[in-house]
Amino acid sequence: MNGIWEKFNFSIIIAETTTRLLPVKLANLSISTLRLLKAVLTKALSALFFFSMDDLFSSEDDDHLLDLDYHPYARKRPLSSSLYSDEYEETDEESNRQKLYLVSYRWWKEAQRSVADQIGGVLYTVLSNNDDADSEIVLDLRKEESSGTRDKAGEVASGREYALVNEALWLRTLKWHNDRKTSEEDARYPFVAEDQSQEVFALLIRLSFSPETNSLLVKISLKDNTVDLYRRACSIFSYQSELFQIWDFSGQTSQFVMNEMINLPNISPGKLGKEILLELHVHGFFVSTNDTNERLTEWSKTENSFGKSRVKTNKSSDNPSTYLTLTDALLSGTGYRGIGLLGLTGLQNLGNTCFMNSAIQCLVHTPQLVDYFLGDYQKDINYENPLGMNGELALAFGELLRKLWAPGAMPVAPRMFKFKLAKFAPQFSGYNQHDSQEFLAFLLDGLHEDLNRVKCKPYIEAKDAEGRPGEEVADEYWQNHLARNDSIIVDVCQGQYRSILVCHICKKVSVTFDPFMYLTLPLPSTTMRTMTVTVFSSDGIVLPTPFTVTVPKCGRLKDLVDTLSVACSLRNDETLLVAEIFKNQIFRLLDEPSDSLALIRDADKLVAYRLPKVNETYPLVVFSHQQLKRPYSFGVMASNWKPFGVPVVARIQDFSSGSEIRNQFLKLLSPFLMPVEDVVNDYDGDETGNTINENSKMEDIVSSSVPDSDAGSDSGAENDFHLNAGFKFYLVNKMEPVEIKMNEPVPISRFTKKLDISIHWSDKMIEKYDTCLLSSLPEVFKPQLFTGRPQESISLYKCLQGFLQEEPLGPDDMWYCPRCKKPRQANKKLDLWRLPEILVIHLKRFSYSRFFKNKLETYVDFPIHDLNLSNYISHIDGQISNCYQLYAISNHYGGMGGGHYTAFVDYGHGRWYEFDDDRVFAVNEDRIKTSAAYVLFYRRVREV
């Protein structure tokens, strides 16, 4: 409500001023003055609308009129880029109006020595006229003709030399002093600084131009200000016949003089030009006592506590009226404290906008961006960039940043910023929850395009890097990038990595150097997967054994075979043949090393057959198993054969007799033979109770199990009888199955590479072999529910290694090979080449697929003070540090269905604060490492 009344009172003042101007003869008024009156009358009708000085003194036709957003190096922005548009009816955006600040020149110049872009100013000699000092102060400002933009950095400023700056420059200077003071003060009292004893209060002044003396007149009257504020003005400006100087670094007075010079023919002799009512904020002239300092120190110990402490406004007076209540000052706008709390302002949640608030707080506490947007960033706005947003996003972000860094500010509602954001990014419109990293990526890219200093991007064709040194190619790529992209975002946030692609077919190597804005580091659980594969041996000794191995999630079949070979101790003379089993049949053979492992699902069942390398040219024989099934159907007995178990595989050279097929099959089944005693016990009696002779049963087992090398002998004929009763072999072809006779050649072509043989098992053979072992086959991955295993800590360096390791491109991410002239699968390897000043690291916690979404709560142990990337960068520049320090974190709490974003920010010297929407509170450094860390912000530091 206080803000609304403040606007209402200001509108009344404007209306009164306009009413006084109405009796002037219209014929004597210039067109610009008439437009001014029209604008004033129109705006004054809305009691809740604050005047923007841009609205008051700008129009489409009069670019020369006074623009309080003027800077000598800034171009006039079009009306379409104004932060206030007709379609947006927000009325509480007070910061859009420009403010003037009067400060000590020495205080201002001390900070400017550290700024690269020195700003020129106009020097005025000021004479105070105090004939009627009880009700009005008149200041005569005369320009020093020889001043120009001369640099006074080397001169010692007197105590009666002031500076006139706009709000952005004042905030930047205030922040510089705040940073310096907080770095010098003891951490126990981080906010007790000299500048905190200096309050800011607003004076309403009237500015006019005198054509006779060619000077500016400033009137500070009692009728425009409260008694208290007028007394303060008197203590500053009411010195009888004493000269003092004011440097104008805002550029506004020169614009006003220019406008008045144009209107000189319309001003009657001896008359003053029109008066303009301005709001002047005075900072740095408060004189405190020892008692006041003690009270201020006590107040400063409590953050954001606006107590009822009373502060003297003039040491020469003990009148109670010269005291100011801090709470009243904050609400009334006459003055405010809390300068030491710069940047600790929260953002209101407009409805599921915590994702936006979290990312914004991290950005507005990026040192380089703060200094840039508190400076004259508008000179860099690119209104012609078709990829940009007409500068509107940059302007909205700059205004929001200045609000958040204004001293004594209450939580800010970023409605205007969200409105501009949704205008250019409809995906962020409405009030749905979004991803803070996606928002951050769009915002950085949008700010870059709005602030791109390159007005016309040249076309540059990249040259082939083959045969040239990497340093030369990298610098060429970077210069080509800067020729098209030049902004504060590029200067601060962009680095460069090397990308190496190798074609699987022609082995073409392609090397490119691309820029990056942030690094998306996959967590180990997102880059690797565990796979269980059952290994079958062909030596007739070892039972099938399952092995669980870890392979890259986007790896190739070669990665699985190599890892599995180590796990099963594969000999040099052996090879592995991987196959997928489905419904007791080999669904497909995985024999292409470049096949992607992403095609293998967790529910699949894989086997790997150990085969001798010397027999790789022999045909592959696949033995699949069939057993008799006798279900009842409508009371009628029916019989059929169904598959069971896992097929076994061998390579056979000799097909001259079916006995060779039989002997190889029996060898493969040898490990599955039931122990002799178990078979004997199972057959220790028949249905009639007669005892079976153990010797005869043992003979059956041996005769049916031991391969017969002499098929023509009498014993071979006896074994054939047992085998024919136990197994029948059928050659599977496209027509009907063909039975294989034991002593006859197998009817196949000599060019056959693969032979499918179906084995019919009798009930007797099923009892002799452990078919449970033959049928037991685990899935590739079986999720374990409710595992009580404690969560492991994963180093950020391990995540970085996963990002930099070589990986194959999947079928959905084919690379166009310039040599093959067609899309190909390729191996991709990334290397860090050039690191930015601000390194943004995105931890890939969210994974998406066609069927489900998932969030990883993995705890990542990231360095705070000493992130050293020297071992992870391919190009070492001895003059540039590769060490970084953490200064901000965007956190996400909750799961995929919902959650909440917050931010941690380092205020300096290990003082961390948590920004939870509009709530800001201190937090210990040892609490900022959590499994909620989502986006990390690092700044480069000098190596120790």
The yes-or-no answer on residue 900 being catalytic is yes
Asked if 768 contacts 673 with a C-beta cutoff of 8 angstroms, the reply is: yes
How far is the C-alpha of 492 from the C-alpha of 447, rounded, in Å?
12
* Closest listed residue to residue 70, CA positions, set 424, 407, 379: 379
| Residue partners of 401: CB distance under 8 A and separation at least 6 | 364, 369, 370, 373, 374
Compute the residue count for the chain: 944
Here the tokens at position 182 are 């907080």
Q: Are 405 and 364 in contact (CB under 8 A)?
A: yes
365 flagged as catalytic? no
Beta pairing partners, 590 = 578
Number of H helices, E strands in the chain: 25, 41
At residue 437's C-alpha, the angle toward residues 431 and 443, to 5°, is: 75
Question: Alpha-carbon distance 641 to 629, whole Å?
Answer: 6
Query: Among 727, 536, 551, which residue's Cα sits nearest to residue 648?
Result: 536
Report whether 524 contacts 796 (CB < 8 A). Answer: no
Identified catalytic residue from 234, 354, 362, 503: 354
506-515 as b/e: b if 16+ CB within 10 A:
eebebbebeb
C-beta separation of 372 from 488 below 8 A: yes
> CA 482, CA 480: separation in Å to the nearest integer?
5
| Three-state helix/strand/coil letters over 341-367 | HCCCCCECCCCCCHHHHHHHHHHCCCH
Nearest to 664 by CA among 606, 737, 589, 612: 612
Helix (H) or strand (E) holding 100: strand 100-104
Sheet containing 574-582: which strands, arranged edge to edge? 545-552, 528-536, 605-612, 574-582, 585-590
Report the distance separating Cα 877 and Cα 495, nearest Å: 14
Q: Are 658 and 742 in contact (CB under 8 A)?
A: yes
Distance CA 913, CA 111 (A): 26
Give which of 508, 466, 470 is closest to 826, Cα–Cα: 508
Say how far residue 758 (Cα) sits from the centre of its chain. Answer: 57
Q: Which of 481, 760, 875, 900 is catalytic?
A: 900
By annotation, the residues acting in catalysis are: 354, 900
